[in-house]
Amino acid sequence: MVKNKYFGTMQFYIRALSIALPVMAQLLIQNFVSLIDNFMVAGLGDVKMAGVNVAGMLIFVFLILSTTICSAGGIFMSQFNGAKDKEGMQQSLRFKLLLTGFAGIVFVIVGLIAPRNLFGIMLTVNKDADVIIDQAVKYSRAVAFSGLFTVFSQSIASSLREIEIVCPPLIISIIATLVNTFFNWIFIYGNLGAPRLEVEGAGIATVIARAVELVLFIVYVLIKKPPFLFNIFKLFEIKIHLFGTIIKKSIMILYSELTWAVSEAVSNALYNTRGGAEVVSGMSAGFAIANLFFICFAGTVTATSVILGQELGAGKLKEARRYKNWILSGSSVFGIVFMFIGFSTVFLVPFVFKNLSSNSQGIARGLIITAAAYLPLWAYLNGQYAISRTGGDTVMGVVCDTVANILFVGGMFLLVGLTSLGPVAMYAIVKLSDFVKAVIAYFWLKKERWLVNLTVVQK
């Protein structure tokens, strides 16, 4: 009975892994290539890597927004797939394309403007602020147009995964990341007769790679014709009621994700008060490697969304209730496994970031160890959030994130004002607030507000 209640069957976990592993492999490749990008940019020195990192915060917030929109649409895509409702799936894709398209246009405009004051907020009293901002502006303008390509690819890729088509996005991602690496090599350092563009070259390479990626996704869906595909000239034929419901869900998720993103941006600005370019580049290098093991979160969320969403959409609420416990137990074990993988990645620092200063490398190593130690908790949290959102309960995330972010940001300001701790120690302490989130989510899930067939509710 204990096994059946808390741990699922081998068949259940095999199915979950068959969904999660390709998604994780895709992210691993993307993050590994991102690591190579960081390696190439790091070869230009602390200041230029710091500039790319500061501009990257704009990209970070943009990706949070587009991912949130896709997640909200994905709640319904998974459930409509379980209900075999083709029209509902097409409406979900319309939602993704229209809203992420708007976000992409905004990103292009902001990226081209590249406001120095905005980047300056990230550096506050950093002693190298002016020269870092110069590099951030160059990179931001070069990478701006990648936003439009990214959001449409993201909408298609997420929809394919939500109907359990997980390998084609992986293959397309491999091709796109190889293209990105190749053009980085050409444009950053001026190989094959190309001009040496340094940080601008990194941005141009990203634009080319994202364009190739989108073309490949369009070709694939036109050939395979998945059930969510519709005539693009009917893009604006939307069901207002369903659209409004998805928007309500997305606002809740967006609140959670953006408050988290803002808290991370504030914390980054506060970390940067602890030194110069070595702090910015060191934290950036640490997160670049940490992203290699953070892929376990995407695997957990995607597998949960697909499996639980299909059961809920098919009206199998009893099975969904049982799967909830199996998912949480599996997430915890998954997090423990990746914790040890995370610890091992610290040995990459002196090889990948050998051109950074010794202080930067020390900060990177400390951040990696700290982040890896939190993985079991974070994997469990991602499982809790995925369960709640798959059933359309987006309020839980709002409550958890509001409480935790107040503790997180408040703790950061206290540590900055009252201590002389370095950025890694500050990060380790304030992240204890995530235990509060897990406790709130544990009791919230017991109320079973997530146990809802949304396809019936919409009818």
What does the DSSP assignment read for 221-244?
A: HHHH--TT---GGGTT---HHHHH
C-alpha pair distances (Å), 241 with each of 91, 252, 457: 11, 17, 11
pLDDT recorded at residue 124: 60
Examine the pLDDT at 2 and tell me if it is beyond 60. no
C-alpha pair distances (Å), 411 with each of 152, 261, 427, 438: 38, 16, 10, 18
pLDDT recorded at residue 420: 83
Q: Which residue has the tokens 């950053």?
A: 188
pLDDT recorded at residue 64: 79
Instruction: Report the 10 Å Cβ neighbour count for 309.
Output: 30
Name the residue with higher pLDDT: 366 or 121.
366
Average pLDDT, integer, range 8-19: 86
Average pLDDT, integer, range 258-268: 77
Q: What is the pTM of this model?
A: 0.74
Name the residue with higher pLDDT: 374 or 48.
374
Tokens of 212: 């190739």
pLDDT digits (tens, 9 = 90+) for 195-224: 998 888 888 998 999 999 999 999 999 999
Supply the DSSP symbol for 276. Answer: S
The amino acid at residue 12 is: F
Name the residue with higher pLDDT: 380 or 263.
380
pLDDT digits (tens, 9 = 90+) for 51-90: 777 777 778 778 878 888 888 888 888 888 888 889 889 9
Q: Which residue has the tokens 């790679």?
A: 209
How far is residue 66's CA from residue 43's CA, in Å, rounded to a whole number?
A: 31
Please calculate the CA angle 17-252-19 and round it to the nearest 5 degrees: 10
Residue 81 phi/psi, 5° resolution?
-65, -40
How far is residue 89's CA from residue 433's CA, in Å, rounded to a whole number?
A: 37
Tokens of 360: 């930067």
- Find out whether 33 and 184 touch, Cβ atoms under 8 Å: no
Structure confidence at residue 1 as a pLDDT band (50, 70, 90): very low
How far is residue 206's CA from residue 37's CA, in Å, rounded to a whole number?
A: 10
Residue 448 DSSP SS3 = coil
Tokens of 34: 């991102």
pLDDT recorded at residue 278: 75
Write down the H helix ranges in 345-432: 349-352, 358-373, 375-390, 395-418, 423-430
How far is residue 332's CA from residue 23's CA, in Å, rounded to a whole number?
A: 18
How far is residue 83's CA from residue 253's CA, in Å, rounded to a whole number?
A: 24
Average pLDDT, integer, range 96-115: 90
